[in-house]
């Protein structure tokens, strides 16, 4: 066998293996995102996101207060910090976080994963439990499945 033939066979085998490799299940991808606790671990998940992915954040306060809602493109969020959010969260700290309860469903061929986490917090002397719901919507991309959108709801009611 000539070196060129061996190289072609090797490339063909690698291509077949790459195409048949099992991609992570959407539930596994969502769990990996939820486990990311720092910038380094978030960067490691970058390939799990669609280039046009969006993140919608909803803050529900209750007691007649209007919900805060904002949406941004994930790719545009590189190292940007909103000073209003930083000021609003001054004095906020989590005291306990449950393991997320993850469920999934497929609608019209699209995978949806929902994770619900209960968070005990202390915020400027006020204690409580907040319900965090993360709703992931996946889409096919470059032969795999990636996050197309994420809606995170922080429910303090």
- Domains of the chain listed by start with CATH number: 24-155 (3.10.450.50)
Task: Using pLDDT thresholds of 50, 70 and 90, give the confidence band for residue 62.
Answer: confident
Dihedral pair phi/psi, residue 83, rounded to 5°: -65, -30
Number of residues assigned to the chain: 157
Q: pTM for the complete prediction?
A: 0.79
Averaged pLDDT score across all residues of the chain: 84
> Taking residues 42-57, what's their average pLDDT?
92
DSSP secondary structure letter of residue 74: G
Q: Which token pair is 157?
A: 């009611």
């Amino acid at each position: 066998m000539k070196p060129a033939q061996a190289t072609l066979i090797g490339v063909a085998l690698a291509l077949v293996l790459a195409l048949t490799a099992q991609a992570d299940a959407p539930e596994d991808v969502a769990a990996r995102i939820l486990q990311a606790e720092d910038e380094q671990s978030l960067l490691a998940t970058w390939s799990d996101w669609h280039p046009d992915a969006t993140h919608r954040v909803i803050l529900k306060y209750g007691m007649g207060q209007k919900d805060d809602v904002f949406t941004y493109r994930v790719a545009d969020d590189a190292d940007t910090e909103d000073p209003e959010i930083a000021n609003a969260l001054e004095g906020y700290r989590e005291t306990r976080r449950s393991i997320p309860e993850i469920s999934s469903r497929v609608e019209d061929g699209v995978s949806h994963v929902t994770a619900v986490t209960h968070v005990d917090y202390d915020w400027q002397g006020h204690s409580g439990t907040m319900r965090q719901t993360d709703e992931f919507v996946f889409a096919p991309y470059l032969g795999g499945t990636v996050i197309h959108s994420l809606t995170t709801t922080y429910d303090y009611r």
